[in-house]
A and B are shown apart, each in its own frame.
Chain A
Amino acid sequence: MLQNVRILSVLLAFFPALAWSEWEVNMTRGVTDTSAAIYDLHMIVFYICVVISIVVFGVMFWSMYHHRKSKGAEPHPFHESSTIEILWTIVPLIILIVILVPATKTLIQTYDTAESDIDIQVTGYQWKWRYKYIGQDVDFFSVITTPSDEIYNKAEKNPNYLLEVDRPLVLPINKKIRFLFTSNDVIHAWWVPALALKKDAIPGFINESSTKINEPGIYRGQCAELCGKDHGFMPIVIKAVTESEYVAWVAEQKALKQKEASASQKDWSMEELMAKGEEVYNKNCSACHQPTGVGLPPVFPALKDSPIALGPIQDHMDIVFSGKAGTGMSAYGEQLSAVELAAVVTYERNAWGNNVGDKLLPADVEKLKGGK
């Protein structure tokens, strides 16, 4: 009896997710005209497939039941019939053409990227997304915020587990938005099911797609192309809002940016830099170099006790700023602000037992940024 209870409680422990999971078996209809058209096409083809299976399997099961030796069935000698063979070549061909007409129409619809209201450049990075509103001076990274305690089962998982980011992509509804996709390192794929939009982000090339969202709401998606270690951990969150809310949001972003710029002129103390540095490190660096700085050698080297983190500060800054060609280390000079760069370099030199004691000031980084 006691053992049964124990088994039961173990079994129940396997189902903590049950509360949030849904037995969803189909594609979403989405919130754009295109996604609705794609959904309809999907359903048409699905029903055609169901009918074909019923016919084919029907004949098959019927003969399996009636033409059994145990029921005394005698084999009929027929084994060729040109008429019927021509028939079952032509009929499927006609069915295919019937399917291809709406498919072609829908495809042409998805390829219409002309005359957009807003252009957004989406850049894939290992393992985060960058959104740049072209002509708007709004440009930011969107990084997963699911705590590692939840991933490693030390804390209960929240309903948006793995589908939450620090800064969502804010988009206005009823506006034609054109996305320009590219990548900074490997191939990623930007996918939001509610928009029925999936496009590869390819380093060195630009792909385009457009969408027009009909309803406000939060829409979540994930990277769909294997892009390395944390491929499963680079979600996409879209916040679709009304146009007035969107305008207000853009203004807010610009104000934020100015505040950031003035921050780099301030004289930062060691404590402030270390605190900021830890935050920046955990967001940008810890996926590869690990939260404790030990890395995952040989692909992702350790920073703890590394010659670079303990060597001249100028070399350390250079590698963070310009990256290292031929490796996963990308150039953070353009990704991070002067304050963030200064803080993270300072942090790496003084954390986890690295004890160089020097610090980099945002103003110095600003000079370097201007110089390059």
Chain B
Amino acid sequence: MTTQVAETGHDDHAHGPAKGITRWLFTTNHKDIGSMYLIFSLIMLFIGGSMAFVIRAELFQPGLQLVEPNFFNQMITMHGLIMVFGAVMPAFVGLANWMIPLMIGAPDMALPRLNNLSFWILPFAFSMMMVTLFMDGGGPNFGWTFYAPLSTTYAPPSVTFFIFAIHMMGASSIMGAINVVVTIVNMRAPGMGYMKMPMFCWTWLITAFLLIAVMPVLAGVVTMMLMDIHFGTSFFDAGGGGDPVLFQHVFWFFGHPEVYIMILPSFGVVSQVIPTFARKKLFGYHSMVYAIIAIAVLSFVVWAHHMFTVGMPLAGELFFMYTTMLIAVPTGVKIFNWVSTMFKGSMTFETPMLYSIAFVILFTIGGLSGIMLALAPVDFVYHDTYFVVAHFHYVLVPGAIFGIFAAVYYWLPKWSGKMYDEGLAKFHFWVSFVGLNLTFFPMHFVGLAGMPRRIPDYPLQFADFNMIVSVGAFLFGTSQLIFVFILIKTLRSGKAAPQSPWESAEGLEWTIPSPAPYHTFATPPKVD
């Protein structure tokens, strides 16, 4: 229990948060910590997004106009790292913090102090990573995948700060994941068996296990880099008996489960939202759960499909091609289930539903280009081109980010007790939707036509599509200011939200008042 509780006693009446800054510094309340995570990730989204602006501005036209190639490389690296570790992952942890206790009927997360620590590591980790941009030699410039030896022997001196920052982010993620597992396993309300849990909790439980499994692998690989740089080892240096490809194997053993870490909680969100607005139970709950587990298990045996061109033996290529294709099966099951949930429902299209439908459509497009990329011989052409960039932005932006938007619009009335402006939110959706497709769809074309990724300048035949992509990116980026405006407007002057603002939403979170009181479910609810 918290110190505040100790001071104010264990009386039954609700007590509010501490006053001033200490509320946020020392809080152990899952709702406060959830809000901090979400705000942090929003700030990171804008920082990472402004780096994307620099990238797209430079690529607006052929030639070098705005930045030098070395700074361009720092921008692509930081954009990737910030979006992955700073925007998407903390947003999901924020949603988990807010919603998991409310959805399973628990009073708080199981390990509240750990919760506080895992959040407060992040601002320091990201500050450290970002100040490298102002150091001598610049920040990390080797891509977010930081392949050795470019990131070891040939790296700028600031790489050591980058390694330490990654360590801190990893520690934060592991703590957050342990907290989720312990909470879900131990603190479900009486009567809530595993197979009665809301799908969001299921996806997060699996995500948490993935995090616990792979974040130490990431920590391992950056430690090996550190040893190579400062302590004379040669893990990744062939001259000393090491192997640069070993880096890629270890990195992608982390990296592939990581991409599922960034999508599974979104699966959970849309599995909550679609049934609500289709006014129909989620189709195939059980097979949805098994599909997530299957995806998670398979994610550990597909990593080398990121490395089809490193010169693996034929047997290796075949193995990773087959396992990767296999992932399409459980993923397909999930998409078919969402579509069946909508089928013969009674649908309305409020903003969370719009984002969820866009999620299903655009994630499917990203999934289909994933099937194309899984074919090793064709990947020899696709690999490291804009086709790959298009693919992973299609799964991450409408996947992870749209999932987060759906979640925020869906649960914002519960968090704040106010309704957002539906018209404005729909406007935000449509501008984002158009901007996103304008940005990422033409990338398929330039990629197939032969444009490599991570280049600051390009041959002339790619000029037209790149200009369109840049215009789309400016539209998509700028339209996120509408989101901020909607949030502020809701908090300042939104209409009061009822306990359950959505007509047929199910779940424990809708049985408590809006806004959710500072302490909820002090006595566990009964679930039948």
Chain A residues near B (Cβ < 8 Å)? 14, 17-18, 20-28, 37-38, 41-42, 45-46, 49, 52-53, 56-57, 59-60, 63-64, 67-70, 73-81, 84-85, 88-89, 92-93, 96, 99-100, 103-104, 106-111, 126, 150-153, 157, 159-163, 181, 185-187, 189, 191, 193, 196-200, 202-205, 207-208, 220-233, 296-299, 326-328
Contacts and interface: CB of A to CB of B under 8 A. Distances in A.
A52 B367 CA distance: 11
10 tightest A-B CB contacts, nearest first? A204-B238, A232-B455, A207-B311, A17-B463, A24-B449, A79-B281, A76-B344, A49-B368, A106-B377, A224-B384
B67 to A, nearest CB: 12
Contact of A75 (B147, B153, B339, B344): B344
Interface stretch (B48-56, B323-331, B428-436): B323-331
12 contacts: A20-B463, A45-B375, A45-B378, A63-B342, A67-B342, A68-B348, A69-B347, A73-B344, A103-B321, A151-B457, A181-B311, A226-B73
B333 to A, nearest CB: 6
B461 A25 contact: no
B461 A204 contact: no
A284 B293 CA distance: 53
B238 A60 contact: no
Interface in B214-263: 237-239, 243-245
A96 B142 CA distance: 35
A64 B348 CA distance: 9
A232 B154 contact: no
Contacts of B325: 96, 99-100
B398 to A, nearest CB: 14
Contact of B339 (A59, A103, A189): A59
Contacts of B369: 49
A333 B361 CA distance: 57
A232 B456 contact: yes
A26 B442 CA distance: 11
Contacts of B360: 60
Nearest to B378: A42
Contact of B347 (A73, A79, A150, A163): A73
A162 B364 contact: no
B283 to A, nearest CB: 5
Contacts of A56: 335-336, 339, 364
Contacts of A197: 380
Given A45-B371, A89-B333, A106-B377, 14 more contacts: A14-B61, A21-B463, A24-B449, A26-B445, A49-B371, A63-B344, A76-B280, A79-B280, A203-B238, A205-B245, A205-B311, A223-B452, A224-B309, A224-B384
Nearest to A208: B311
Contacts of A191: 384, 452
B343 interface: yes
Contacts of A46: 372
Nearest to B387: A27
Given A63-B345, A150-B63, A21 B150 contact: no
A326 B154 CA distance: 7
A52 B371 CA distance: 12
A157 B381 contact: no
A328 B336 CA distance: 52
Interface in B343-390: 343-348, 357, 360-361, 364-365, 368-369, 371-372, 375-378, 380-381, 383-385
Contact of A69 (B279, B328, B450): B279
A298 B346 contact: no
A256 to B, nearest CB: 29
A197 B379 CA distance: 10
Residue in A23, A153, A186 with the greatest tally of chain B CB atoms within 10 Å: A186
Given A75-B346, A161-B460, A226-B142, A92 B329 contact: yes
Contacts of A111: 314, 317
B136 interface: yes
A88 B332 contact: yes
Contacts of B345: 63, 67, 73, 75-76
B346 A151 contact: no
A228 B151 CA distance: 10
B195 to A, nearest CB: 12
A153 B66 CA distance: 11
Contacts of B61: 14, 17
Contacts of B69: 229-233
A313 to B, nearest CB: 28
Given A64-B347, A75-B278, A53 B365 contact: yes
A221 to B, nearest CB: 8
B62 interface: yes
Contacts of B380: 38, 110, 196-199
Contacts of B365: 53
Contacts of B448: 24-27
B437 to A, nearest CB: 14
A27 B329 contact: no
Contact of B445 (A25, A150, A160, A185): A25
Contact of B376 (A78, A103, A126): A103
B136 A298 contact: yes
A59 B344 CA distance: 11
A107 B310 contact: no
A24 B492 CA distance: 49
A38 B460 contact: no
B460 to A, nearest CB: 4
A234 to B, nearest CB: 10
Contacts of A152: 63-64
A370 to B, nearest CB: 25
A203 B244 contact: yes
B17 interface: no
A232 B457 CA distance: 6
B280 A27 contact: no
B321 A107 contact: yes
Nearest to B369: A49
B511 interface: no
A104 B318 contact: yes
Contacts of A205: 238, 243-245, 311
B461 A21 contact: yes
B372 A45 contact: yes
B515 to A, nearest CB: 27
Interface in B116-166: 136-137, 141-143, 147, 149-150, 153-154, 156-157
A324 B213 CA distance: 40
A67 B347 contact: yes
B462 interface: yes
Contact of B458 (A37, A150, A159, A162): A162
Interface string B47-89: 0000000000000111111000110010000000000000000
B344 to A, nearest CB: 4
A21 B460 contact: yes
B243 A204 contact: yes
B278 A185 contact: no
A205 B452 CA distance: 23
A200 B248 CA distance: 12
B505 interface: no
